[in-house]
Amino acid sequence: MIFVGAGNMFLRPKNYHGPHLKFRERNFMRRLIWTTVFLIAFSLPAWAQESLDNTYCSDHHGARVKIVSDSSARKLSEAGMTATGSSVIRINSGQLSNLSSNVRSFAVNFSCASLTLGHLVKGARDIYEHYDQVGNADCSAAAKLFYSGRLDLEGVVTLEEEINQLTREQWSHFPGPVRVVSLKDSCSLKPLN
């Protein structure tokens, strides 16, 4: 060991300026952090950003569901459980990008409804109960759009028509089984005023 002085225990390199970063390095790091934040915030399409920011979803226990962007998800929106038992919805904004924002929001709300109604925790006893659960999730998703003011009754009919026109390939990326969606007749949506 080489002692240099009372305040300096070890010999340091000639260009060492203390434990703090230089002003330029701090400024660079600050810009890098803000650039990263900006890119993350604006990297999702507008519909996904709206869904992530404004969608509140709670599971069957009333706990808030974490909604995350996941480009590896096979479906547009997938409801699931983590290893710790927390509910999560994974959204792949790259799937079905040609659909309207209302259909895409319906897909996210369908996944939310599956968690809220406890369908992932309590499975169906038979195929009939399964399709009842799917119908309940469809109505819950449509109701969320209707009562939030995003859709009126005509908008619900348009939504229903657009979903029923999905191809088999599109259904493979849409949450829930392939089905005929009957929102206007089955869901009893009534204006609040």
| Span 60-72, pLDDT tens digits | 888 899 999 888 8
Quick one: which H or E segment has residue 40? Answer: helix 23-41
- Residue 16 pLDDT exceeds 50: yes
Q: What is the pLDDT of residues 151-181, one digit of tens each?
A: 999 999 999 999 999 999 999 999 999 999 9
What is the DSSP code string of 18-33?
A: -SSPPHHHHHHHHHHH
The edge-to-edge listing of strands for the beta sheet with 66-69 is: 66-69, 87-91, 77-81
Q: Tell me how many degrees the CA angle 148-80-130 measures, rounded to the nearest 5.
A: 80
Q: What is the pLDDT of residues 93-128, one digit of tens each?
A: 888 888 999 999 999 999 999 999 988 878 888 999
Taking the C-alpha atoms of residue 75 and residue 170, their distance in angstroms, rounded to an integer, is: 9
- Extents of the domains making up the chain: 46-186
Give the model's confidence band at 191: pLDDT under 50 very low, under 70 low, under 90 confident, else very high.
confident
Taking the C-alpha atoms of residue 95 and residue 76, their distance in angstroms, rounded to an integer, is: 5
Calculate mean pLDDT across residues 20-26: 58
Is 3 strand, coil or helix? Answer: coil
**Distance, C-alpha 133 to centroid of its chain:** 21
Cβ neighbours, 10 Å, residue 171: 16
Q: What is the pLDDT of residues 41-89, one digit of tens each?
A: 444 444 444 444 457 888 888 889 999 988 888 999 999 988 888 899 9
Taking the C-alpha atoms of residue 109 and residue 97, their distance in angstroms, rounded to an integer, is: 17
- pTM value is 0.71
pLDDT attached to residue 33: 60
Nearest Cα neighbor of 155 from 106, 97, 98, 95 is 106
Taking the C-alpha atoms of residue 63 and residue 45, their distance in angstroms, rounded to an integer, is: 27
Q: Is the dihedral of CA 158, 163, 166, 169 positive or negative?
A: positive
Cβ neighbours, 10 Å, residue 58: 13
Residue holding tokens 């999905």? 166
Q: Is the dihedral of CA 52, 143, 85, 92 positive or negative?
A: negative
